[in-house]
Structure 1
Amino acid sequence: MTKSLTFTTATALAACVVANAALLVAQVRQYGTEYGTEAANRASMWTGNLTGIRSGLLVLTAWVFLLWLRRARTVAEALSPEGHRHRFGWVVGAWLIPVVQYFLPKRIINDVWAASCPADRVRRTSVLLTSWWLFLVVAVTYTGWGWNHSRNARGAAETRAALQDAMIGAGLYLVTGVLAVAVVLELSRMQRDRLAEL
């Protein structure tokens, strides 16, 4: 695993964490304003701008992460050619198919993780990997539900409830991002260690 690709991926993920933290702060400030006031409109503008920035960063980071994952899978196949349950094309394809995207990418990453473990301590997953995946699934699901809720919000009470949902979603993505950075760094380290043993 190249250190530059790992660094780029971890940096992109960290940028998403920062964007989510900034968005969460803006949402909390917006929540503290009275609906319909100038302060609320300004806070809403900041929240909207940061939401756009976060969305752009998420798209860029997803692309970088998939490049990193493809490379990690290539290295994992060199370390353990028989240890993979799915063909190489599923490394990217699994993320694009509705419903399948909730379980198949995790299976693929589990196989990469197992192939990257020390030969005497092979484990298909870890607490870190499973925690990251569970937070990701919950964040994606909850944010999708929350987005529908906010789109249909009418009046002060519904808008505040939608904003609460958005704050929870930003918090979930924040934790997911921190865990994703840890997964990328740990899996890359494991692969470097295994390659050094050969």
Structure 2
Amino acid sequence: MAAVLRERTRRYQQEQRGEATQPGEATQRGEPTQRGERTRRYQQEQRGEPARRFGDELFAEAYIDGREFNLSLLCGPRGPQVLPPAEIDFVDYPPEKPHIVGYAAKWDDRAFEYHATPRRFDVDEADRGLVETLRALAVHCWRLFDLRGHVRVDFRVDERNQPWILEVNANPCLSPEAGFMAAAARAGLTIEHVVERLLRDAVGS
């Protein structure tokens, strides 16, 4: 047992130095291994040194403050059916907290965001025109990317009422609590209805 521990310790120390751990490996002595490279970059960051982690070119997107809508689409015999649109409400968010539906809002039932981001399907009369625009854009995404099955398109609408497409999710979650199934239920569809449509679409019948 002591010999095994010594060998493991030796290999770990080699990896931290960026050395190959066994003869015949792709890396040569002195050439960083994957773990050794990660360690080197971490140490650089701790010393305040720049570390190139993402290649030579980066791009940044502006944060779009505004309302958030989800439009779900389900395959049908005459093309995609646009399910009832949902708007995400950001309830009691502090002024300095960005309105983002992240991991905590979706999956962590102990988090503030989880309980403070309810979805609602009631469309105000003043938003009828906006919703029709979102529907048209969602269908355009379906056709542009040649999608099938079930899809969810997420939008932000800025203060000028300009829609922005955040994401085209070509395989959204089908759990009962997820946004797609909530929209399907609003349209009177059960999980059995949804799965049957997906299977028919997959086999081309």
Q: Same fold (TM over 0.5)?
A: no
- Structure with the larger strand share: 2
Higher relative contact order (CA 8 A, sep 6+): 1
Larger radius of gyration: 2
- Structure with the larger helix share: 1
Question: Shorter-chain TM-score: which interval?
Answer: under 0.3
